[in-house]
A and B are shown apart, each in its own frame.
Chain A
Amino acid sequence: MNRFSFVLRRPIQLIPVLLGISVITFLLLQMTPGDPVRLMLGPKASQEAIEFVRARYGLDQPIPVQYFYYVLNCLRGDFGQSIAFRGPVSGVIAARIAPTVFLILYGLVISLLLTFALAVTAARQRGRWIDHLIRLVCVAGVGVPSYFVGLLLIMGFCLRLKIFPVSGYGPTFINNLWHLFLPALTIGIGVTPILARNLRATFIQQLDKDYAIACRSRGLPESYIFSRHVFWNSLLPTVNLLGVVVAFLIGGTVVVENVFNIPGLGNLLIRGVLTHDQFVVQAVALLLAVGVVISNFAVDVLTAILDPRVEL
């Protein structure tokens, strides 16, 4: 059987996950006290207007009925109406996907560059002071909260040096590279220690592996062994870790989007949770779950490309 046949299986595995997530979000939001309509119409809205709107969104129906119609509508491609935004959820979400995806990918690119730079340096200079320094920075870096990093970056780069904008999401790709640099850097700084530590450890572990010794016995130079053998073998564990990290990131962008005011999904989701915008939360949660699954899938594909042994 083809090693890559898992590509076909993935969508099937997604179904129970999506069902589970929709049930959990539905129940969670039902359990949360508070009335979304009141928040929608604002503090001075009349009771009459509130009742009317509640009925319009079907919020006066029993919970199982609401869920049933929700699933039914989803199957028809209708993800419901946003209470806060007074319109179809799909439209609300569509406007927010790009910033989040851009931010996450950008952050990943930055963190990968940092990761490789640090890990390769440390592994090649193994045991020297620079290696110890990098290791220490990685250990220390894990615990620095990203909101604190974000604040410091804004202070330094936006207010003092005025190199980067404080916030926002520009209209063009190039513009976004500039606008989202600091948020992406914040993400990068958050993730790099974990990845770099892992990659460095793997490099060093792989350098002592039997196959590396065998290569040495054939007189291959260290740099060749590193670049042709050890490097590629070391990518596997880090790629796997990357999958976990991306899943973590997708949720973690919330904080960064908040600090840097990026109109993304994370922001929307938190707002949705706090304002009980049921269908927005549902849809974003499902979308993010799909994102997690896609990232895991990408990891699987990457693993399969990297490692001929993998049967998925």
Chain B
Amino acid sequence: MSDLVSVENLTIDFTTNFGDVHALRGVSFSLKAGEVLGIVGESGSGKTVACRAILKLIAGNALVKSGRIMFEGSDVLAMKDAELGRLRGGQAAMIFQNPSTHLDPIMTVGRQVGEAMVVHQGISWRQANARAVGLLEDMHIKDASRRAGAYPHELSGGMRQRVMIAAALACEPKLLIADEPTTALDVTVQAQILDLLRGIRRERKLSVILVSHDLGVIAEMCDRVVVMKDGAVLEIGSVDQILRDPAHEYTKRLIASQPSLMKPTTHACPVATEPHLLVKNLCVNFYPGQSLAAWATRKPPQIVRAVDNVSLALRRGGALGIVGESGSGKSTIARAIAGLVQPQQGEIEVDGQSLDRALRQRRPEQVRKLQMVFQDPFMSLNPAFTVARTLAEPLRQQNICPERDIPERIRELMEKVELPRQLLDRRTTQLSGGQRQRVGIARALALEPEILIADEVTSALDVTIQAQVLGLFARLRRELSLTLILISHDLGVVRYLCEHVAVMQHGKLVEYGDTEDVLDRPQQAYTQELIAAIPKLSRRTSSGIQPGDTPLLAAGSKC
């Protein structure tokens, strides 16, 4: 088999206001016809630039320093507009990570699927529409002829991704480049889309380049895999070979950082009798803004039950994971407990003492006891503050210690979260995602809480950083004997940190129990579905690598 695409020694720089950035440094790889090639790497690794370059979809400030890209023998980078027009869509097509931004929001999806056919093949809009409906049916979209008239916002995320695939396939390309096609989707939807991709690949004899940060996805889908880091290719090989016997240190670390492969840290938990935190019959309703017209016509107010009669109990020092897909209400529970959302019903007790549902009514020491760490490291810190100020503020406001002790306290906090003191004078915007998340943890710890609520704290982080932060959690929990509530969509993360797990769907508690029981022997259909949807990695890795054993994780897994 000959190479369909070959990328040879490609070097691309971006000129920015802050100087040149080396996006790709001498990248070479090739794709054989009919093959599925995976490109894996963390953010900034250059994987997206590399695959976009194949269609010459590079930004205006990109500068090709060297190298070429051959597509069936012709140099893509040397192509003129007309040739590019034939290549893109006609020969090779691309689908992207976020289907909601990559579709034109104000054009019906049928038209978007059909327009390439009109432009490239010169057929009429009517014919194009008919074909688009057919394509949408091929993508397993039910009621396709009606859906074709819908706008993207009227469709679910998974459906939008199907539309984008249909649009890409409209002109029957040979190559499909899929750039993180499932990252923005819930795990069950991800499984469906991956299924679909497998199907169309088989039926249409497509060659595929699949870019992902998720080794699990790569492992399930690909024949060969390219591992990239900092704009360079570290190694290329068959999936089995890379997973079983990675040559490069980084690849090993990448594999070891996969939560599903990490050894649970929950085995040595202390046992207490009285529940530390008790949540009884919690209900949180949202009232989407009621219109005057509705009020005038005496329509009953619309209620969205974000949390529906949920009860939980947690022992001192215990760790509870709450899992669920987006919209399941898991974050709302966390916020309701922390007092940031006021529930309509239910009791929250800490050490047998009832907490007021309104944060303002809680006593200062009650507020202190319960602290939260937030999801998005780019949103959870005040960008106007320095690190020192971020940490000093709670100490000062809640009178944790005398004013003169504050600098010392701040240094201790920095040590606790393993950050160098030099960062104290930095603006929070000058930190990396992982550093920010540690500052966020330090800020929560400043108030010396007993219960820590961690809301998707690692989902925005790269997997190796995630592993480090998870390790930190595990250590802090043990050292400070914290009671932990961990909200996550990732069952691996929960398994790593928590001995109890609650599975949520549509605001209701679906399953609740010991982590091992629930995850290994799920009783409920939804839980089973959830677990089945996770791309499996473990079965293809060798026992040669000891998860949790790499130097980087050592700090985080003392127990």
Q: CB within 8 Å of B: which residues of A?
A: 1, 5, 8-9, 12-13, 208-211, 213-222, 224, 228-229, 232-233, 306-309
Residues of B within 8 A of A211 (CB): 101-105
B479 to chain A, nearest CB (A): 44
The distance in angstroms between the C-alpha atoms of A13 and B292, with both chains bound, is: 9
The answer on a CB contact under 8 Å between B94 and A214 is yes
The answer on a CB contact under 8 Å between B115 and A217 is no
The answer on a CB contact under 8 Å between B116 and A309 is no
Given known A5-B291, A5-B293, A221-B119, contact A214–B88 (CB-CB < 8 A): no
The distance in angstroms between the C-alpha atoms of A220 and B104, with both chains bound, is: 13
The answer on a CB contact under 8 Å between B151 and A308 is yes
The distance in angstroms between the C-alpha atoms of A219 and B175, with both chains bound, is: 14
Closest 5 pairs between A and B when the two form their complex, measured CB to CB: A219-B89, A219-B88, A210-B101, A218-B89, A217-B94
B85 at the interface (CB under 8 A from A): yes
The answer on a CB contact under 8 Å between A218 and B291 is no
The distance in angstroms between the C-alpha atoms of A39 and B95, with both chains bound, is: 74
Interface size on B, residues (CB 8 A): 38
Residues of B within 8 A of A5 (CB): 291, 293
Q: Who on chain A is nearest to B107 by CB? A: A229
Show 7 A/B contacts (Cβ-Cβ < 8 Å), sorted by A: A216-B55, A219-B90, A219-B119, A221-B85, A222-B81, A232-B106, A233-B104
A34 to chain B, nearest CB (A): 42
The distance in angstroms between the C-alpha atoms of A35 and B518, with both chains bound, is: 85
B140 at the interface (CB under 8 A from A): no
B292 to chain A, nearest CB (A): 5
The answer on a CB contact under 8 Å between A217 and B88 is yes
- State which of B89, B106, B115 has its C-beta within 8 Å of the C-beta of A233: B106
A-B contact count (CB 8 A): 93
Residues of B within 8 A of A228 (CB): 107, 115
The answer on a CB contact under 8 Å between A219 and B94 is no
Residues of B within 8 A of A9 (CB): 291-293
Residues of B within 8 A of A208 (CB): 59
Chain A contact residues: over half helix, strand or loop, or mixed?
A: helix
The answer on a CB contact under 8 Å between B101 and A218 is no
The distance in angstroms between the C-alpha atoms of A237 and B486, with both chains bound, is: 41
The answer on a CB contact under 8 Å between A213 and B102 is yes
Residues of B within 8 A of A215 (CB): 104
The distance in angstroms between the C-alpha atoms of A12 and B59, with both chains bound, is: 49
Per-residue CB proximity of B98-126 to A under 8 Å, as 1/0?
Answer: 10011111110000000110011000000
B146 to chain A, nearest CB (A): 15
The answer on a CB contact under 8 Å between A219 and B171 is yes
A174 to chain B, nearest CB (A): 37
Binds A, one of B162-170, B247-255, B348-356, B521-529: B162-170
Per-residue CB proximity of B147-189 to A under 8 Å, as 1/0?
Answer: 0000101100000000010011011000000000000000000
The answer on a CB contact under 8 Å between A309 and B93 is no
The answer on a CB contact under 8 Å between A219 and B116 is yes
- Other A-B contacts than A9-B291, A214-B164, A228-B107, 20 sampled, CB-CB below 8 A, are A1-B294, A209-B101, A210-B102, A211-B101, A211-B103, A213-B57, A214-B96, A217-B57, A217-B94, A218-B116, A219-B90, A219-B116, A219-B119, A233-B104, A233-B105, A307-B105, A307-B106, A309-B106, A309-B151, A309-B153
The distance in angstroms between the C-alpha atoms of A219 and B101, with both chains bound, is: 18
The distance in angstroms between the C-alpha atoms of A12 and B98, with both chains bound, is: 40
The distance in angstroms between the C-alpha atoms of A216 and B106, with both chains bound, is: 17
B103 to chain A, nearest CB (A): 6
The answer on a CB contact under 8 Å between A8 and B293 is yes
Residues of A within 8 A of B291 (CB): 1, 5, 9
The distance in angstroms between the C-alpha atoms of A1 and B290, with both chains bound, is: 12
Q: Who on chain A is nearest to B296 by CB? A: A12
Residues of A within 8 A of B98 (CB): 210
The distance in angstroms between the C-alpha atoms of A229 and B116, with both chains bound, is: 13
Residues of B within 8 A of A218 (CB): 88-89, 93, 115-116, 167-168, 170-171
The distance in angstroms between the C-alpha atoms of A275 and B120, with both chains bound, is: 69
The answer on a CB contact under 8 Å between B293 and A219 is no
B558 at the interface (CB under 8 A from A): no
Residues of B within 8 A of A222 (CB): 81
- State which of B55, B59, B153 has its C-beta within 8 Å of the C-beta of A308: B153
B86 at the interface (CB under 8 A from A): yes
Residues of B within 8 A of A12 (CB): 292
B463 to chain A, nearest CB (A): 24
The distance in angstroms between the C-alpha atoms of A221 and B89, with both chains bound, is: 11
Residues of B within 8 A of A308 (CB): 105-106, 151, 153-154
B84 at the interface (CB under 8 A from A): yes
A52 to chain B, nearest CB (A): 48
Residues of A within 8 A of B103 (CB): 211, 214
Residues of B within 8 A of A1 (CB): 291, 293-294
Residues of A within 8 A of B154 (CB): 308
A194 to chain B, nearest CB (A): 24
B87 at the interface (CB under 8 A from A): yes
Q: Who on chain B is nearest to A221 by CB? A: B85
The answer on a CB contact under 8 Å between B151 and A219 is no
Q: Who on chain B is nearest to A13 by CB? A: B292
Residues of A within 8 A of B101 (CB): 209-211
The distance in angstroms between the C-alpha atoms of A232 and B108, with both chains bound, is: 13
The answer on a CB contact under 8 Å between A216 and B104 is no
The answer on a CB contact under 8 Å between B55 and A217 is yes
Most buried by B among A214, A218, A221, A309: A218
Residues of A within 8 A of B120 (CB): 219
The answer on a CB contact under 8 Å between B88 and A221 is no
Residues of B within 8 A of A216 (CB): 55, 57, 88
The distance in angstroms between the C-alpha atoms of A54 and B102, with both chains bound, is: 69
A135 to chain B, nearest CB (A): 17
The distance in angstroms between the C-alpha atoms of A215 and B57, with both chains bound, is: 11
Residues of B within 8 A of A13 (CB): 292
The distance in angstroms between the C-alpha atoms of A309 and B103, with both chains bound, is: 13
Residues of B within 8 A of A214 (CB): 94, 96, 102-103, 164, 167
B362 to chain A, nearest CB (A): 36
The answer on a CB contact under 8 Å between A217 and B292 is no
Q: Who on chain A is nearest to B164 by CB? A: A214
The distance in angstroms between the C-alpha atoms of A309 and B107, with both chains bound, is: 11
The answer on a CB contact under 8 Å between A210 and B86 is no
Per-residue CB proximity of B25-45 to A under 8 Å, as 1/0?
Answer: 000000000000000000000
The A-contacting residues of B in range 338-371, CB under 8 angstroms, are none
The distance in angstroms between the C-alpha atoms of A123 and B454, with both chains bound, is: 46
Q: Who on chain A is nearest to B292 by CB? A: A9
Residues of A within 8 A of B167 (CB): 214, 218
Residues of A within 8 A of B94 (CB): 214, 217
B542 to chain A, nearest CB (A): 37
Residues of A within 8 A of B57 (CB): 213, 216-217
Residues of A within 8 A of B105 (CB): 211, 233, 307-309
The answer on a CB contact under 8 Å between A220 and B153 is no
Residues of B within 8 A of A220 (CB): 85, 89, 115-116, 119
B359 to chain A, nearest CB (A): 31
- State which of B89, B104, B164 has its C-beta within 8 Å of the C-beta of A229: B104
The A-contacting residues of B in range 60-100, CB under 8 angstroms, are 81, 84-90, 93-94, 96, 98
The answer on a CB contact under 8 Å between A219 and B115 is no
Residues of A within 8 A of B119 (CB): 219-221, 224
Residues of A within 8 A of B153 (CB): 308-309
Most buried by B among A1, A13, A213, A306: A213
The distance in angstroms between the C-alpha atoms of A221 and B98, with both chains bound, is: 23
A221 to chain B, nearest CB (A): 6
The distance in angstroms between the C-alpha atoms of A12 and B90, with both chains bound, is: 54
Most buried by A among B89, B94, B104, B151: B104
Q: Who on chain B is nearest to A215 by CB? A: B104
A20 to chain B, nearest CB (A): 18
The distance in angstroms between the C-alpha atoms of A1 and B297, with both chains bound, is: 13
Residues of A within 8 A of B90 (CB): 219
